[in-house]
C-alpha cells in the first residue's frame, strides 16, 4: 500500500494543511497561504479541470565530463488546461 504526501499547489507546504468534508468532497486548506482546493486526484488543484496527465520525467546524473546518464524516472502530474505541474510523491 502506498501513501501519498499532499502538498499545497500554491506554496508547496506539506505540514500546515487542514481538511474538512462537505457534501462528500474533502476540501484542503493551507495554513501558510490560505489556498483551498478539493482533494480529488482526478482534478487539477490549481484550476479544478479534469485534465491531469501523468508523465514520466527522467532524472539525470553527471557521468563523465559533461555527459549525463539517466538514473531513474519520476512521475510528474501536469494539467493540460493551465499547465500546473506537480511531482507525485508516493511513499512505499
Sign of CA dihedral 86, 89, 10, 79: positive
Q: How confident is the model at residue 2 (pLDDT cuts 50, 70, 90)?
A: very low
pLDDT tens string 14-65: 889 999 988 877 889 999 999 888 887 778 878 878 888 888 989 999 878 8
For residue 20, the enclosing domain spans 15-91
In a domain? residue 1? no
In a domain? residue 42? yes
The secondary structure element, H or E, covering residue 77 is: strand 67-79
Percent of the chain with pLDDT over 90: 20
What is this structure's pTM? 0.50
Counting Cα atoms < 13 Å in the Cβ hemisphere of 56 gives 6
Q: How many domains does the chain have?
A: 1
In a domain? residue 59? yes
Amino acid at each position: 500500500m502506498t501513501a501519498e504526501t499532499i502538498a499545497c499547489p500554491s506554496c508547496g507546504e506539506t505540514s500546515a494543511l487542514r481538511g474538512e468534508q462537505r457534501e462528500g468532497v474533502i476540501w484542503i486548506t493551507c495554513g501558510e497561504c490560505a489556498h483551498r482546493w478539493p482533494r480529488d486526484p482526478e482534478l487539477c488543484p490549481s484550476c479544478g479541470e479534469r485534465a491531469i496527465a501523468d508523465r514520466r520525467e527522467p532524472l539525470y546524473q553527471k557521468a563523465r565530463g559533461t555527459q549525463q546518464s539517466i538514473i531513474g524516472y519520476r512521475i510528474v502530474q501536469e494539467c493540460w488546461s493551465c499547465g500546473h505541474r506537480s511531482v507525485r510523491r508516493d511513499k512505499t
